[in-house]
């Protein structure tokens, strides 16, 4: 039986502590906040998108190749079904949405019910939970970590499991400082980087706040006329300072990388056909329906609230008929629905991301045990690792699976 200290009482730390204690180890769980699972409680807008449906293979495919390869052993050991079974035994029933996202049954405070289930599990397994306990430093040198420092005490243990999460939403307790301490101990890391975050624009459209573009594709190019860097099919919504919504979150990391490299430009296609095909269809419409107003045609493909301002910006009359459109004006209309310019981004915020990319370099960690290479008694799990999946329950599943593997001592 080992004395185990788990640092961080979020998704990964709760599972790691429960697992290690269930295997008979003496476990102390240290959490900086006054209560456990603070980020879990706000996940999925308070509904907690726990995991994603499907076989492990399809969950792994949602991550980058390197991350998927790393996650394979821990996901196979504790997959989505295992998470759901564990929670069901604690009275948390779940359901899958059509898009594969799994949630607790809809009722007020469903995310809190998930945290309560984990609180019960760790308590029953005999974990000693200490909240309000922020670790302020690590002591030791490879291959042994000897202690973690708290404000009033220094805790020694046989095994340490670090589950301190990422660096976004610092108000939930995740300030990312542990990554710097690990780097100082010689552990290879990748610096924190924004991901799954809203994108502020250099020229936002506050008058369009709340308007959504749906069913199309958000595109990132290296500057206005530059080559295509990335695209994501999905909806977006205009905010006071820029853009948010599913497609925006997914493209935020690539956008910030492009911005830092010098040129990033965003546009949205509500029609996915090539511009030439849309132009041909518009010309056919001009012939068959010459009195149709250009504004009516545009309103079929873009939200009503945008039609008039966009026509005005393009110097076109909102009351003009299709038959009166010269070639250039027709091409302008086509461009609005195949590549509506959204503009250049401003810096994407690390703090506002649903995850933080970066973390402990995966190559420095044994993917079966989560032991740091070169260390005997130091394990790392959850978002502290260089793991960042898309929206859809993948990030919590990665935290649960790696937490389970780290706690399997
Ligand atoms: C708004 C929002 C919504 C999200 N929604 C979803 C969703 O629906 N589905 C999904 O899959 N993912 C979602 N995520 C992502 C997901 O919540 C995280 O990826 C996941 O919680 C990571 O788990 P973790 O245990 O590694 O870290 P966390 O859950 O962040 O836990 C880390 C814990 O460590 C503690 N800690 C940090 N430093 C110290 C220290 N020095 N000493 C002591 N304790 C410390 C923190 O207080 C924190 O409680 C969301 C994230 C956000 C911000």
Q: What tens digit of pLDDT does each residue of 290-312 get?
A: 999 999 999 999 999 999 999 99
Quote the pLDDT of residue 113: 93
CB of residue 44 inside a 6 A radius of ligand 1 = yes
pLDDT, mean of residues 387-391: 97
Going from the Cα of 263 to the center of ligand 1, the distance in angstroms, rounded, reads 32
User: Over the range 113-142, which residues count as b (16 or more CB within 10 Å of their CB) and which as e?
Assistant: bbbbbbbebbeebebebeeebebeebebee
> How far away, in angstroms, is 145 Cα from ligand 1 center?
24
Of all protein residues, whose CA lies closest to atom 22 belonging to ligand 1? 383
Taking CA atoms only, the protein residue closest to ligand 1 atom 37 is: 164
For the segment 2-26, the average pLDDT, to the nearest whole number, is 98
Across the chain, mean pLDDT equals: 96
Atom of ligand 1 nearest to the CA of 353: 53
How much is the average pLDDT of 370-390?
98
Question: What confidence tens digit (pLDDT) does each residue in 303-352 have?
Answer: 999 999 999 988 888 888 999 888 999 999 999 999 999 999 999 999 99
**Atom 51 (ligand 1): residue with closest C-alpha?**
354
pLDDT digits (tens, 9 = 90+) for 31-81: 999 999 999 999 998 899 999 999 999 999 999 999 999 999 999 999 999
The ranges of the chain annotated as CATH 3.50.50.60 are 3-194+355-407
Tens digits of per-residue pLDDT, 92-146? 999 999 999 999 997 777 899 999 999 999 999 999 999 999 999 999 999 999 9
| 39 Cβ below 6 A of ligand 1 | yes
Q: CA-CA distance, 46 to 228, in Å (whole number)?
A: 36
| Architecture field, domain 3-194+355-407 | 3-Layer(bba) Sandwich (3.50)
* 139 and 182 Cβ atoms separated by less than 8 Å: no
Q: How far, in Å, is the centroid of ligand 1 from the Cα of 271?
A: 37
Q: Give the distance (Å) from ligand 1 centre to CA of residue 100.
A: 22
Which numbered atom of ligand 1 lies nearest the CA of 51?
A: 11
Residue 382, ligand 1, Cβ within 6 A: yes
């Amino acid at each position: 039986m080992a004395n185990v200290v788990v640092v961080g009482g979020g998704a990964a730390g709760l599972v790691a502590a429960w697992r290690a204690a269930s295997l008979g180890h003496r476990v102390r769980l240290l959490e900086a906040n006054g209560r456990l699972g603070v980020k879990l409680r706000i996940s999925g807008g308070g509904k907690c998108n726990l995991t994603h449906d499907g076989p492990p293979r399809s969950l792994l495919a949602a991550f980058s190749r390197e991350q998927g390869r790393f996650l394979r052993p821990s996901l196979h050991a504790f997959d989505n079904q295992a998470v759901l079974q564990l929670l069901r035994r604690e009275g948390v029933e779940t359901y899958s949405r059509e898009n594969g996202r799994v949630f607790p049954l809809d009722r007020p405070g469903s995310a809190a019910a998930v945290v309560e289930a984990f609180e019960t599990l760790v308590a029953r397994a005999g974990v000693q939970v200490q909240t309000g306990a922020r670790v302020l430093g690590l002591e030791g040198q490879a291959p042994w970590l000897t202690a973690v420092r708290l404000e009033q005490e220094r805790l020694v243990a046989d095994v340490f499991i670090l589950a301190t999460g990422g660096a976004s939403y610092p108000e939930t307790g995740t300030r990312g400082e542990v990554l710097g301490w690990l780097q100082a101990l010689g552990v290879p890391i990748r610096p924190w980087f924004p991901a799954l975050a809203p994108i502020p624009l250099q020229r936002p459209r506050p008058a369009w706040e709340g308007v959504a573009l749906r069913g199309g594709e958000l595109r990132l190019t290296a500057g206005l006329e530059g080559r295509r860097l990335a695209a994501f099919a999905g909806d977006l919504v205009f905010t006071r300072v820029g853009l948010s919504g599913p497609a925006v979150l997914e493209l935020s990391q690539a956008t910030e990388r492009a911005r830092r490299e010098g040129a990033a430009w965003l546009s949205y296609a509500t029609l996915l056909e090539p511009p030439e095909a849309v132009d041909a269809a518009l010309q056919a419409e001009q012939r068959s329906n010459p009195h149709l107003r250009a504004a009516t045609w545009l309103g079929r493909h873009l939200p009503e609230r945008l039609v008039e301002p966009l026509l005005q910006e393009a110097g076109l009359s909102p009351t003009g008929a299709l038959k009166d459109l010269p070639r250039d004006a027709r091409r302008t209309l086509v461009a609005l629905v195949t590549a509506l310019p959204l503009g250049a981004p401003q810096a994407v915020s690390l703090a506002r991301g649903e995850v933080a990319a970066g973390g402990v370099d995966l190559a420095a960690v044994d993917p079966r045990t989560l032991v740091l290479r070169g260390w005997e008694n130091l394990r790392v799990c959850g978002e502290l690792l260089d793991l960042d999946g898309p929206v859809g329950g993948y990030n919590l599943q990665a935290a649960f699976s790696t937490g389970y593997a780290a706690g399997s001592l």
